[in-house]
Structure 1
Amino acid sequence: MMATGGGDSETQTNARGDAGHRKPSLTWTFAAGAGIGVLGGMIGLGGAEFRLPLLIGLFGFLALQAVILNKAMSLIVVLTALPARLVSVPYAEVVAQWSVIVNLLGGTLIGAWVGATWATRMRSATLYRVLAALLVLIAIALAWSHFGGTGALDLSPVTRTVAGIAAGLAIGVVAALMGVAGGELLIPAIVLLFAVDIKTAGSLSLAVSLPTMLVAFARYSRDQSFQVLRGNAKFVATMSAGSIIGTVLGGLLLGVVPDAVLIPLLVSLLLLSSVKVWRHQ
């Protein structure tokens, strides 16, 4: 039976996050966060798409709890990554593309609120399956962004604006439902729709992700399952610290493992995770 304002009764029973999941050591939590960060850093992302199935499958959080925790950690990682990113891509270069940011935010902000609302109202069984399907989507986007090789689309200004809002809306929904920053979808969308080079697109995606995540976070804060953050503050802080350090290390390892080897392995990992999340009880 559907519970008011917070998924199903299983989610309500464990809303505070003080039951229904394993109690890992802080050392193991830090190591897991660092491993996720390395994976994400090696492909220029924060790793939230790999963290989500880990929160569900390894640490035993319920679907909505895992999404909220993932969103909190994604927000922390993005806040630390944005200043560092502006060092490699000048601030003036990002500001020059302000119209791209505004265009996408026109969709992502609405999508983030809608996606977070859907997540809090879904039964856990349904949310697990939605998350599994979205992991497959992320795997496809990851493979396409590295091997697709498609150039920017030739669109009229009006069509590009409408397409940007529509793409932003869809990305905002996905990012809110999974608790991710959405860079794995934003970057190819920016390259395709606005003919921006991939390095600048990475910085623009962070500029779009931050306010989008804040909107989703605000919506989740209205649900009782948001209490999982209070019950797992040390867990969040420790895994976030590991993720940040791991992301830096992964960035240093960028190019060490050829994309032809790394990307298929990560895509396979996402697909395997989607199967496990789909079957999760």
Structure 2
Amino acid sequence: MTTDQNLVPLRSTRSAPAVFGAGAAIGILGGMIGLGGAEFRLPLLIGLFGFAALSAIILNKAMSLVVVLVAMPARLAAVPAAEVAARWPVAVNLLAGSLLGAWAGASWAVRMRTASLYKVLAGLMVLMAAALVVTHTTTLGTLDLPLWAEVPSGVAAGFGIGVVAAIMGVAGGELLIPAIVLLFGEDIRTAGSLSLLVSLPTMLVAFARYSRDGSFEVLGANLRFTMVMAAGSVAGAVLGGLLLGALPDAVLIPALALILLVSAVKLARHE
């Protein structure tokens, strides 16, 4: 770990209502497009609450884990368990890469200088914006790869997604869902459930790697902050889900992509 990553406010002094409200706002944004919203929460942790990059990533990962655990029963209830279980080779294929990617991504993040990490996060924000636009404005087909190409492609995709998810502290559904559709030909509904089965162990691996680093103490120092914001994120995600379709995608998706791009610019310039 580099010493400059310790230059963070160890404990947030924001009031609980403000923290809950910020989490709820993020949850609504994510819920309106069927995601957890962690990619929007990360720049908020840095820009509004003043956490340094690595600390924000660790807090974001903890909150993402809570949101995924809460969302999993509802998601699995929406898709019959037998239907999801029948696709277990897809989850195993992606996990073969994502678990390694999560460990590698977390390892790189804790060793990276803070200034470099901000720039990496900015680049990944741009990637998320592109994935958001492509996923929600185009009809995803399937690559129809032969099995000999499908399996290594799944491992490679899983590794890349694991790296991104670990470095940003997100669940990775934004990338997992289109990957599952493209590589394995699953429908969006099933892909959403499979993405949770892949993202949960992937997040746990990244979390375990971060726990070995001194910066992990920011989580213990801000446990109340984390739980309050996570609760707000869950409540917001539920409300956002109820508002699903309230705004046309032609308006909502470009607006959300613009938020990510503006966040990327601010992160790239962050000192």
TM-score (norm 2): 0.98
Contact 2:144 2:184 in 1 (8 A): no
1:99 to 82, 89, 92: 89
- State the 1:225 CA deviation: 0.2
| Counterpart residue type for residue 226 of structure 1 | F
- 2:227 matched to 1:207? no
Q: Distance in 2 between matches of 1:55 and 1:23?
A: 13
- 2:260 matched to 1:270? yes
1:17 to 10, 22, 36: 10
Q: Distance in 2 between matches of 1:191 and 1:204?
A: 10
Q: Residue in 2 aligned with 1:35?
A: 25
Q: Distance in 2 between matches of 1:90 and 1:80?
A: 18
Please provide the CA RMSD for this pair.
1.0
Q: Distance in 2 between matches of 1:150 and 1:227?
A: 41
Q: Distance in 2 between matches of 1:199 and 1:49?
A: 21
SS of equivalent to 2:245? coil
- State the 1:45 CA deviation: 0.4
Contact 2:140 2:181 in 1 (8 A): no
Q: Residue in 2 aligned with 1:121?
A: 111
Q: Distance in 2 between matches of 1:60 and 1:210?
A: 27
- 2:146 matched to 1:156? yes
2:38 to 36, 48, 56: 48
- State the 1:148 CA deviation: 2.5
| Counterpart residue type for residue 124 of structure 1 | T
| Mapping for residues 106-255 of structure 1, pairs under 5 Å | 106-255=96-245
Q: Residue in 2 aligned with 1:79?
A: 69
| Counterpart residue type for residue 49 of structure 1 | E
For structure 1, list consecutive stretches of 5 or more residues without a partner in the other structure.
1-5
Q: Distance in 2 between matches of 1:49 and 1:121?
A: 22
Matched pairs, number: 271
Q: Residue in 2 aligned with 1:3?
A: none
Deviations 1:22-81 (A, max 9, x none): 521110000000000000001010000000000001111000000000000000000000
- State the 1:10 CA deviation: 2.4
| Counterpart residue type for residue 232 of structure 1 | N
SS of equivalent to 1:131? helix
Q: Distance in 1 between matches of 2:109 and 2:244?
A: 34
SS of equivalent to 1:216? helix
- State the 1:150 CA deviation: 3.5
Q: Distance in 2 between matches of 1:151 and 1:230?
A: 44
- State the 1:147 CA deviation: 1.3
Q: Percent identity?
A: 65
1:261 to 241, 247, 251: 251
Deviations 1:84-104 (A, max 9, x none): 101111111111110000000
Q: Distance in 2 between matches of 1:150 and 1:77?
A: 26
Q: Distance in 1 between matches of 2:241 and 2:148?
A: 37
SS of equivalent to 1:24? coil
